[in-house]
């Protein structure tokens, strides 16, 4: 079996349970246990986000300290981001909908960084293409319904003056040998990769720096991004800020199977945000990895494994009514629902979600400027 390699710029190998267990040990993160989920559930008035329930967000760093601050009425903020190297598919967007849930639950400020500079330096892609994706991605993200007063977008190129000022504080405290060890940078890599991590670390203290109020920062991210924030936790105390806390996800299951990532480069490997009802349905019918049995007869007799079924999982991420999800889970597992029916249920749910997004997109598309981070407009 191919050995798992994971840096922010390169993920290869099979991502199964044991691979995640190894990463948890190697990176030194903590697992999210029942007690922690309960604690969050109390704050969220009993509503547990499906990503916590299904262990998509499965690990953390010092999440307790953020919750302590929240309970004591001290402000904290959220920070997440996106590398704009292509169109967004549903697997890219769902983590943002989890972040939105966190923002609503805690009623806090959120920074969203678009690392256009990173994608230019690490990928073979033109600046024109990146700029186009950056603007499209921002609209896609905002169409989820973020609070304009508390959501601040950073486009690295555009915010470069402000970002660079603070990035040098970070850079001064990170050695070349750390970058080599943590990011797997080698002698033949371009030097952009050596400096860029400073840019992704800045938002982890930027709101504190700009407002003069020292706050904790909670960063939701997929585990491949952990190198940045391991370094951040080392550097920020040296600059007088808190170590950032983290809530860390696995990669979402791909259309064609649970151990591959959804990919923007293959049209049939993911559901894109502009896929029509017909296309969504076809993709699920044709490609979606099923936890069901090969024949209807066997399925009726033995039932399915919903936990590895793409259609069930997507449905469970999007259906707000937890009772309905439990019902579908049990019916699918017991053989009452067949694979084709499960795909039908999921296709409807996904398409309704995409239609809502596309309505919202029309409303936000001319208002992007309202969301771009402006230090003068931050009201804590």
Q: Which residues bind ligand TRP (CB under 6 A)?
A: 8, 79-83, 113, 115, 118, 200, 219, 221, 225
CA atoms within 13 A on the CB side of 201: 31
R_g of the chain computed on alpha carbons: 21
Q: Nearest distance from residue 97's CB to ligand TRP, in Å?
A: 14
Q: What is the DSSP letter of 267?
A: G
Could you tell me the smallest distance in angstroms from the CB atom of residue 279 to ligand TRP? 25
> Coil, strand or helix: which one is 245?
strand
Rounded-to-integer distance, Cα 57 and Cα 50, Å:
9
Residues 6+ apart with CB under 8 A from 18: none
101 vs 332, beta carbon nearer ligand TRP: 101
**Residue 215 and residue 206: Cα distance in Å, rounded?**
10
Q: How far is the CB of 221 from ligand TRP (least distance, A)?
A: 4
CA atoms within 13 Å, Cβ hemisphere of 171: 14
Q: How far is the CB of 36 from ligand TRP (least distance, A)?
A: 20
Name the residue nearer to ligand TRP (CB basis): 81 or 335. Answer: 81
| Least spacing, CB of residue 148 vs ligand TRP, in Å | 20
The CB density around residue 171, as the number of other CB atoms within 10 Å, is 18
Spatial CA neighbour of 40 closest among 203, 218, 195: 218
* Residue (20 or 221) nearer to ligand TRP, CB: 221
Nearer to ligand TRP, 86 or 292 (CB): 86
Provide the minimum distance between the beta carbon of 104 and ligand TRP in the complex, in angstroms, as a whole number: 19
* Nearest CB to ligand TRP, comparing residues 8 and 292: 8
Which CB atom, from 200 or from 339, has the smaller least distance to ligand TRP? 200
Closer residue to ligand TRP in complex, CB, 80/339: 80
Kindly state the smallest distance separating residue 216's Cβ from ligand TRP, in Å.
15
User: Up-side HSE of residue 284: CA atoms within 13 Å toward CB?
Assistant: 27
Tell me the β-bridge partners of 179: none
Residue 318 CB, nearest distance to ligand TRP (Å)? 22
CB closer to ligand TRP out of 133 and 332: 133
Give the three-class secondary structure for 78.
Answer: strand
Helices (H), the chain: 17-27, 34-43, 50-53, 63-71, 90-106, 116-122, 127-142, 160-171, 176-183, 192-201, 203-211, 226-235, 277-287, 296-302, 310-318, 322-334, 339-364
């Amino acid at each position: 079996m191919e050995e798992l390699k994971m840096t922010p710029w390169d993920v290869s190998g099979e991502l199964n349970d044991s691979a995640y267990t190894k990463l948890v040990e190697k990176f030194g993160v903590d697992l999210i246990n029942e007690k922690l989920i309960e604690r969050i559930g109390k704050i969220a008035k009993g509503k547990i986000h499906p990503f916590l329930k299904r262990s998509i967000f499965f690990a953390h760093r010092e999440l307790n300290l953020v919750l302590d601050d929240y309970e004591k009425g001290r402000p904290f903020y959220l920070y997440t981001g996106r590398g704009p190297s292509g169109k967004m598919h549903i697997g890219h967007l769902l983590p943002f909908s989890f972040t939105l849930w966190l923002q609503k639950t805690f009623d806090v400020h959120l920074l969203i960084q678009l690392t256009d500079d990173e994608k230019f330096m690490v990928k073979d892609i033109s600046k024109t293409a990146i700029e186009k994706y950056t603007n499209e991605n921002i609209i896609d993200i905002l169409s989820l319904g973020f609070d304009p007063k508390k959501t601040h977008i950073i486009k690295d190129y555009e915010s470069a003056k402000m970002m660079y000022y603070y990035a040098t504080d970070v850079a001064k405290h990170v050695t070349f040998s750390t970058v080599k060890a943590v990011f797997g940078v080698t002698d033949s890599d371009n030097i952009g990769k050596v400096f860029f991590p400073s840019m992704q670390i800045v938002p982890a203290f930027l709101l504190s720096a700009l407002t003069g109020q020292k706050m904790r920062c909670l960063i939701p991210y997929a585990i491949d991004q952990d190198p940045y924030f391991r370094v951040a936790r080392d550097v920020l105390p040296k600059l007088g800020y808190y170590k950032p806390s983290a809530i860390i996800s696995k990669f979402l299951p791909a259309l064609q199977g649970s151990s591959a990532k959804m990919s923007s480069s293959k049209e049939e490997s993911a559901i894109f945000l502009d896929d029509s009802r017909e296309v969504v349905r076809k993709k699920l019918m044709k490609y979606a990895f099923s936890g069901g049995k090969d024949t209807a007869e066997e399925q009726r007799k033995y039932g399915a494994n919903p936990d590895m079924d793409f259609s069930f999982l997507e449905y469970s991420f999007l259906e707000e009514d937890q009772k309905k999800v439990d019902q579908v889970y049990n019916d699918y597992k017991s053989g009452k629902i067949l694979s084709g029916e499960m795909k039908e249920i999921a296709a409807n749910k996904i398409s309704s979600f995409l239609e809502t997004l596309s309505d919202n997109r029309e409303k936000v598309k001319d208002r992007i400027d309202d969301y771009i981070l402006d230090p003068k407009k931050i009201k804590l």
